[in-house]
Amino acid sequence: MEGSSLRVRKGAWTEEEDLLLKKCIEKYGEGKWHQVPARAGLNRCRKSCRLRWLNYLKPNIKRGHFAADEVDLIIRLHNLLGNRWSLIAGRLPGRTANDVKNYWNTHLLKKNIDTFTKTSNPKSHQLKPNTKVIKPRPQILSKRSFLVNLDEYNNNNNNNNRAETSNNVVLANCGDNHDGYCFPDHDEIMWWENMMMNEKEVDGHQLQCSANDIDESVLDQIMNEDNFGNTMDELFLDEEPWNVFNP
């Protein structure tokens, strides 16, 4: 539980509280959320302050209806990423993870259910019934966890660029910056192999990503084209999207 919950205010924010929080962030900048309530003179917990700022007060937040292209992008990215709202929101300027999540739950989820129970339109962006979405979980490894994985990788390496371990797999050998991806699940491995493996990577070339931009670069790759040079539209409008497994 957060701090001394007996004294912390909950519920809807008042204009006065918004103003205090805004002034505080403008003065001290974002971050150090544990200091924000005291600095702003707010009787709120750090999480509440952070959420209020990120979802409502932050400049450039887009409110109101989602445009058709935004909805389209949400559906596509959700097909790829599942409920990874922060990643999806990261591709929609001005939209927050909470907004995207709410929109999905209130508008798109309903549509999906309708599609499941009524018709199955192959050109539709909705998922088909019995479609298993493989949810990738790109992870930025800490030095510690990387070393564990690297150790297992070295122990198990059998001349492939991939080493299967009891719980995870290192995809491609790791570069100078020692960043990599680990996935615990075979379906995910297949998913990423399908998506990421091109000739260069098979030859030992690997994604050159820093720990901080790994998601961005991977998503950029997804957004721009697939392994075979198809555009995003071609990719997702195909009758059998390659990123979706139909058992």
Partner DNA sequence: AATCTCTTCAACCGCCTCCGG
Partner DNA sequence: TCCGGAGGCGGTTGAAGAGAT
Task: Summarize as ranges the residues that interact with DNA (CB under 7 A).
Answer: 1-2, 5, 9-13, 31-34, 44, 46-48, 50-52, 55-56, 63, 83-87, 97-99, 101-103, 105-107, 110, 139-143, 145
User: What's the token pair of residue 58?
Assistant: 């932050």
Q: Is the Cβ of residue 44 or residue 125 nearer to DNA in the bound state? A: 44
- CA 226/CA 228 separation, integer angstroms: 5
Q: Under a CB-based contact definition with an 8 Å cutoff, are residues 153 and 166 in contact?
A: no
- CA 35/CA 38 separation, integer angstroms: 6
Q: Is the Cβ of residue 55 or residue 124 nearer to DNA in the bound state? A: 55
Q: Is the Cβ of residue 98 or residue 173 nearer to DNA in the bound state? A: 98
Considering the complex, what minimum distance in angstroms separates the CB of residue 151 from DNA? 12
Q: Which of 126, 69, 121 is nearest to 93 (CA)?
A: 69
Considering the complex, what minimum distance in angstroms separates the CB of residue 122 from DNA? 26
Considering the complex, what minimum distance in angstroms separates the CB of residue 137 from DNA? 9
- CA 132/CA 128 separation, integer angstroms: 9
Q: Is the Cβ of residue 53 or residue 192 nearer to DNA in the bound state? A: 53
Torsion sign over Cα 155, 159, 161, 163: negative
- CA 185/CA 245 separation, integer angstroms: 14
- CA 233/CA 226 separation, integer angstroms: 10
Q: Is the Cβ of residue 15 or residue 240 nearer to DNA in the bound state? A: 15
Considering the complex, what minimum distance in angstroms separates the CB of residue 43 from DNA? 10
Considering the complex, what minimum distance in angstroms separates the CB of residue 48 from DNA? 4
For residue 190, count other CB atoms closer than 10 A to its CB: 13
* Strand arrangement of the beta sheet that strand 162-164 belongs to: 162-164, 169-171, 182-183
Q: Is the Cβ of residue 14 or residue 198 nearer to DNA in the bound state? A: 14
Considering the complex, what minimum distance in angstroms separates the CB of residue 10 from DNA? 3
Q: Which of 228, 245, 235 is nearest to 77 (CA)?
A: 235
The SS3 assignment for 163 reads strand
Considering the complex, what minimum distance in angstroms separates the CB of residue 67 from DNA? 14
Q: Is the Cβ of residue 65 or residue 123 nearer to DNA in the bound state? A: 65
